[in-house]
Structure formats: C-alpha cells, structure tokens
Amino acid sequence: MSNDTFKISLYLPAQAAAETEAMVTRWHVKAGDVFSRDQVIAEVESAKSTFEFNAPCAGKVVRLLVEESVSVPFEKAVIEIETDDKSIKSQIPAAGAAPVIESFPSMASTPPASAASGTPAVKDVYLLGIGTYIPETVIPNSTLLADHTDINDDYIFGVTGIRERRWAKPDEMPSDMALKASKLAIERSGLKPEEIDGIILSTTTPDYMMPSTACILQDKLGIRGALAFDLNAACSGWLYALSVAKGLILSGMGSNILVVAAEIQSRLLDKKDRSTYFLFGDGAGATVVSSVKKGHLIRSEIMLADPAGIKMARRETFGNEIPANCVNCDPWLRIDGKALFRFATERFSFIINDLIAKSKWDADEVRWVVPHQANSRILKAAAAKTSVSFDRFYINIDRLGNTSSASIPVALSEIERGIQKKDKLIFCTVGAGVTAAGMSIEW
C-alpha cells in the first residue's frame, strides 16, 4: 500500500429484505493481517443463508469489531481496515451498509443499487411513468363483418361492447411495440435506461421461442447487465409481472424494474370463430417499478390461478403467427365464452372486494377501478357484485378491444392526467389458466 492510506469500517453484505441480522461464524483474518481484494475474510451465517464475506478492496486489518458466533444487525460495522483504495470511500453508504463490489464490469457499469450496496430493508415500492403504444391501423366491426353477413355492428357491440380495435402492421413485432412503450415509461419515470436493473415482459405472443422478447427489448434499449425474462400469465400477465417486480426489489435484486406488456393477438384469430374474431386488439404498455423514487404507491396485490378453468381460454401453438405447418393441431386462439363469463365475473368481483379490505379502504374511497378490458358485459356483471358503482370502472374496450395483458396499462394511460394525488385505484384481471390478479394503488 502507498503512504496515502485511511481507515474505514466495513459492514456485512445485506441479504433478503426480511433478514435483519447475521453472525460471523469464522474470521479468516486478525488484527495486523494484510489482505487482497476479493479475499474471503469471514464466513457468515444468517437465518436463511450461509455466505462468504469477500474483501471489497486490498488493505490491512486494524481490528475486528465483532466476535465469532455473535449475531449483529446488518447496519453495524464488523471490521475496521486501513486501505489506500480511495474508490471504497464513495462506495460506502453513509447509513452504514456494506460496500458496493463491482461485478460484471464488461456488461454493466454499476450493479443494482439495492442488490449490491446492502441498503436498509425496502418498505415501499412505487409505480413510475406510464408508457403505451397502440398501432395506427383501426379495424372497425364493419371490416370483420364482411365474413359474417348474418349479423351486424349493433349485435357485436351488444355482445362484446366493442366498436373497433387496433391491429399491428404485418411487419410489426411485439418487441417493436414494447420498445415504444418502454421508452416513454422510462422517460416519464425520470430515470435513465442505464438505471434499469431488470426487465419483465408479459406476453402470450413473443417474437420467438428464444431468446425471450424481454432480452430482445433489452438489446433495443441498449441496457446491459440487467436481468430480463418473459412472463406468461395470459391477460393477467402485467399484474403478475408488477407483483414479481415488487418481490425482486424487496429481495434486494434491484431498485428499478421495467415491467412491460406487449401483445399481438390479431394474427391468431380464426375468422370463422365468432367467440374470438371480434374481441381482440393489439397494444403494449409499460411502467417502472421502483424503490428509489417516490411515485404511485403499491398498497396490496393478489395473484392466483385455478386449473378448473384451464380449458376456457387456450392456444396450442407458440408465437405471434400461425405456423405454416400445423399437423394435427389447432393453431388458433380459442375461448369458451359462456364458461369464462361466469368464472371471470366471480373472480373480478372477488378481487375488487378483497383488495378494498386488504387496503383498509371503504368502497366509496375508490376513485377508479381499472380492469382488464375483457368484455363490457363481464365488467358490468362484476360491478354489480361489488360496492363500487360501474361508473367508476374505466372502460375503453369499445375503441381498442381486448388487448390481453396490455389492456390495464393502456387504460391507465388514458386517465392518468385526470388522477389526483392520493386517489385510490384498483387494477383487476382474469386470464387463461385460469389466472387472476389484482393490485391497489395510491396515486
């Protein structure tokens, strides 16, 4: 070491957010010992894990601050060292957490803040910046009715609540739509792309079997080193992804997670099947889930699935197009409308009532219910089983159709400007599986 040395205390690397303390089971160094960067200086045990404590820099032990086999909180320093590595000064948080250890230098300039720095347990997680993309091409009912001359526009509207929908262009891919929505979400969040620690992309119509559409989006955004994966919970996917993102943040895996939904259902519709042909539109929506900046507070969430309805909505083949060679298979999107209607009505009302109770709200405090745009009749029937009047359910299915997991962020973006601070919102959805999910938000 050079003569320009200084003393500093080190802390144990924090583990899961639920863990508050750990113990050094064995020290590998003692006062006066010289150690190198990344050298194992101690073995540590917490309630849920056993791990090695690696030196974040080269230096010399001044003194050990805790004895072996004594539990200490993560915010308490465990060793004092002397070093000439000035970079360690800026990497030690003032609140007394573990040093940031550089990882994957060829991929990411810095690791996720909460994962590496050992910050105190996160309590609140927020939504930041909503971004959406809707294709330009408008498809009115009249266009689709050319193949069904025995019914008319009023009939379709009466059954589904849909007048028109938007369909992607032939050369548009789900990742293209996801990119446009994500750029807006990141910009409106006030973050930079390099501050994104992870990407979760909900889709039932991915670009390819592999790599994941999330990884393709990651490449298009120019983000390196962040986690990225697809999630398929059908129409419940965006809310599933929000809940998973919150869990990743609470576990210390990142601080800012981009959550995206991108769906192109228009290419999967059998013209002869009236139960699906008039329902679906295409679209994408995105937001950032964060513990770093305050935004719209996530209060409570619900995720569940019931295989009793596993055949109610299904598709046998993969991707966003019908395969050229489909032998002994049904490549189209199929729905058992009557069975799904009953199931969805019950689940929507259950989720809304349960979230109001979990959030400790009164029903009349709910400013908006922003539901998955499944079918207007389903939503009216669900509202009748709750204490929230139907006029507080935001509906845009008449213009956009059912955009699957993208429908909630797209609907949210349309009312965002009119939402006031502290307004209480409920998101709810049902999808193939049968999956269901909900979330309460304080704006």
What are the tokens at 82? 């002397």
3-class DSSP state for residue 268? helix
User: Are the beta carbons of 321 and 333 closer than 8 angstroms?
Assistant: no
Q: Please tell me the distance from the alpha carbon of residue 309 to that of residue 312, in angstroms, as a whole number.
A: 5
Identify the bridge partners of residue 297 per DSSP, sorted by sequence position.
Answer: 126, 442
| Nearest-angstrom CA–CA distance, 253 and 95 | 19
The residue whose two tokens read 């009312």 is 415
Query: Which is it for the CA torsion 167, 409, 439, 380, positive or negative?
Result: negative
In 193-311, where do the E strands start and end? 198-202, 227-231, 256-263, 283-290, 296-305
Catalytic residue among 235, 256, 296, 428: 235
Q: Is 372 noted as a catalytic residue in this protein?
A: yes
Interatomic CA distance for residues 88 and 5, integer angstroms: 12
Backbone angles phi, psi at 411, to 5 degrees: -65, -40
Q: Return left, alpha or beta for 433; rule: phi > 0 is left, psi -120 to 50 is alpha, else beta.
A: left
- Structure-block tokens of residue 210: 């592999």
Contact present, 159 and 152 (Cβ < 8 Å): no
3-state secondary structure of 298: strand
Alpha helical stretches, state H, 278-362: 337-358
Rounded (10°) angle between helices 213-221 and 174-189: 50
Return the number of other C-beta atoms located less than 10 Å from residue 209's C-beta.
Answer: 8
Q: Which of 296, 372, 375, 428 is catalytic?
A: 372
Q: Is 402 a catalytic residue?
A: yes
What does DSSP assign to residue 359?
T
Sign of CA dihedral 209, 213, 215, 221: positive
How many degrees, rounded to 5, is the angle at CA 186 between CA 125 and CA 15? 40
What are the residue numbers of the active site?
235, 372, 402
